[in-house]
Structure 1
Amino acid sequence: MTIESSNIVLCAPLQQLMDEHVSLRKDMDHFYEITEEIEFESGLAVVQLFAKLHERVSAFAIELNAHSKREDEGLFPMMARRLNENDKTIEVMEQEHEKAEQHLQDFLTEAEQAGNSMDENAAQWITVYAVQAYATLTQHFAKEEKVLFPLAEKILSEYEKEELERLFLVR
């Protein structure tokens, strides 16, 4: 299943998901830059950068959750009904969502538990979760854009696309 998205025009709800990736990727790039600074700094600077990272990742997790919900509750079930029961595309996408969300949740939980006792070492090892989320989501978004969205455009009926659009407007 290798579909190349280069010349496929997506319907409005699929294009919306694609556009959300642009915004999410920009936010991810911002927090990833902070993780790199943390890696090269030391002492108090690390703790201060971590506070900035925590703020960015917290906001990002909320945005990502809204995006994932549209896919998990709208797009994925529709596609799953259309795909062969042996096709694992949707299952893989759902697993990647869970993996990325788990990395973000681990980051937020560990940061919260460290709280005011945050030191350079804790900040550095907790930051690894944000880096893992970034790596997972970078690959995941690319797969959705190159394979999943073009596949959805191809297999979903006009009625399903309109239904997806209605679902997205409600949220």
Structure 2
Amino acid sequence: MENSKIEWSAPLQQLMDEHVSLRADMTRFYEMTEDIEFESGPNVVQLFAKLYGMVTAFTGKLKAHSKREEEGLFPMMTRLLGENDRTIETMEFEHMKAEQHLQDFLTEAGKKGATLDETDAQWISVYAVQAHTTLTQHFAKEEKVLFPLAEKILTVGEKAELERLFLV
């Protein structure tokens, strides 16, 4: 099933749209990590401060998105796919892995605080790069496998329930 030909239900379209927005944010913070890697001097610390703000805002948006999946879509899919299917378990693991990279970034930056220097900025930025990589692969899996499967196996009533859950 080609994704461009799928007519998405409202809750799955919402998740797809959120991926677009999250990807745009990820691209911006990834580009900032590249600037940090290739710059030198005091400018690196200033760039890192901007990156820190970007990652902080992104982490909040990602948590809201993940919550919709973990509390709405994933439990429904688990019921339908059965206990032996590991699809949702894999998705949840990837969420945890990406969130851990972001948390490591924020924690290490917080530990350094005002003492952060160019070297610190460069090595701490690697956590943001790891989050970007994990989420890029994760979003692709959801869009190519999970969402089309959900569109196919969820009933109209289940999709309506998801839509109600997403409004909360």
TM-score range, shorter chain: over 0.9
Deviation at 1:29? 0.4
Between the aligned partners of 1:134 and 1:67, the Cα distance in structure 2 is: 15
User: Which whole-Å deviations, capped at 9, do the CAs of 1:90-128 have from their partners, x for residues lacking one?
Assistant: 000000000000000000000011000000111111000
User: Which whole-Å deviations, capped at 9, do the CAs of 1:2-54 have from their partners, x for residues lacking one?
Assistant: x5423211100000000000000000100001000001001111111100000
The one of 18, 25, 28 aligned to 2:26: 28
The one of 145, 166, 169 aligned to 2:167: 169
Contact persistence 1:27–1:60 (CA under 8 A): yes
Unmatched 5+ residue regions in structure 1? none
Mapped pair 1:126 → 2:124: yes
The one of 55, 58, 61 aligned to 1:57: 55
The one of 139, 142, 148 aligned to 2:137: 139
Unmatched 5+ residue regions in structure 2? none
Partner amino acid for 1:58?
T
The one of 81, 84, 89 aligned to 2:79: 81
Between the aligned partners of 1:4 and 1:68, the Cα distance in structure 2 is: 24
Superposed CA RMSD in Å reads 0.8
Between the aligned partners of 1:28 and 1:4, the Cα distance in structure 2 is: 25
Deviation at 1:59? 0.3
TM-score (norm: length of structure 2)? 0.98
3-state SS of 2:131 partner: helix
Contact persistence 1:11–1:161 (CA under 8 A): yes
3-state SS of 1:10 partner: coil
**Identity over aligned residues, as a percent?**
74
Partner amino acid for 1:130?
A
TM-score (norm: length of structure 1)? 0.96
3-state SS of 1:79 partner: helix
